[in-house]
Amino acid sequence: MYSKSLGFFCCLILCACGSVQVAYDYDKKKDFSNYKSYDYYPEMESGLSDLDNKRLFRHIDSLLQTRGFEYSTTPDIYINIKTSTRPKPSNSSVGIGIGGTGRNIGGGVSVGLPVGGAEQYREIIFDIVDATEDELIWQAVSEGTISEQMTPEIRDAKLKAVVDKVFSNYPPQ
C-alpha cells in the first residue's frame, strides 16, 4: 500500500511540476505597494470549466491572502483570466524505404502513431487591472500541456503549479 501511495505521489509531483512557461509584463510607472485588495473581474469568461475555475480561484485566493492581500467587493485591483488551447503537435510520422543487396530487393513502410492521448497546449492569461483607473497594470501569460484524461487531483496540482509560478513575480520588485 505504501509503495502505491508513494508512486502516485511521485507521479502527481512530476505532472504538477511539468514545464509551465510564463512571460510577464507590467507598467513600471505604477507603485504596486498601494494595491492591497482584489476581486475577480465581474464579466470574466475564463474559458475554463466551473470546476477548474473553482480550483484556480482557490489557489489564487490562498496565495494572495498569505501575502497580505484582502478579498474585497471594492477592490484596488481586478484579476481577469482568459484561456485558449491549441493542439500539441503529434509525433506521428510515415516512412517508406527501399533497399537491397545483390539479387535481393526489399522495401518497407513504417508508421509512427502518437501515444498517450490527445494532449493540448493551454495558455492562461492573467490580467491585473487597476480598479479605479480601469487600466491594465500587470500581465502574465502561462503555457503548459493538458490532457483530457487528467484526474481531478492532477488537474488541481497543475493549476496550483501555474498559480505558484505566475504569481511568483507579483507584485513586481
The residue type at 136: L
| Residue 6 located in a structural domain | no
Residue 15: how many CB atoms within 10 A of its CB?
18
Distance, CA of 94 to CA of 150 (rounded, Å): 29
Asked, for residue 69, whether it belongs to a domain, the answer is yes
The answer as to whether 8 is a domain residue is no
Half-sphere exposure of 151 toward its Cβ, with a 13 Å CA cutoff?
8
**Residue 151 domain boundaries:** 13-169
Q: Report pLDDT for 1.
A: 53
Q: Which of 94-103, 108-117, 138-147 has the highest mean pLDDT?
A: 138-147
Would you say 76 and 38 are in contact if contact means Cβ atoms under 8 Å apart? yes
Of residues 46 and 15, which shows the higher confidence score?
46
Cα–Cα distance for residue pair 125/75, rounded to 1 Å: 20
Residue 116 lies in a domain: yes
The overall pTM is greater than 0.95? no
Domain total for the chain? 1
Closest of 140, 161, 126, 168 to residue 24, by C-alpha: 140
Cα(122)–Cα(83) distance, rounded to whole angstroms? 7
Q: What is the mean pLDDT of the chain?
A: 83
pLDDT of residue 173: 82
Per residue in 100-128, pLDDT tens?
666 677 666 665 555 555 678 899 999 99
CA neighbor of 142 nearest in space, from 122, 158, 164: 122
C-alpha 125/C-alpha 84 separation (Å) is 9
Q: Is residue 87 part of a domain?
A: yes
Q: Is residue 2 part of a domain?
A: no
Assigned C-alpha cell, 40: 475577480
d(CA 131, CA 121): 31
In a domain, 7, yes or no: no
DSSP secondary structure code for residue 33 in this structure = G
Q: Tens of pLDDT along 20-43?
A: 899 999 999 999 999 999 999 988
- Write out the E strands in the chain: 21-26, 37-40, 70-71, 77-87, 93-101, 104-112, 119-130, 135-147
**What CATH code is carried by the domain that includes residue 37?**
3.30.160
45 in a domain, yes or no? yes
What's the mean pLDDT in 57-85?
97
Does residue 10 register a pLDDT over 80? no
Cα(108)–Cα(58) distance, rounded to whole angstroms? 54
Phi, psi (deg, nearest 5) at residue 21: -100, 135
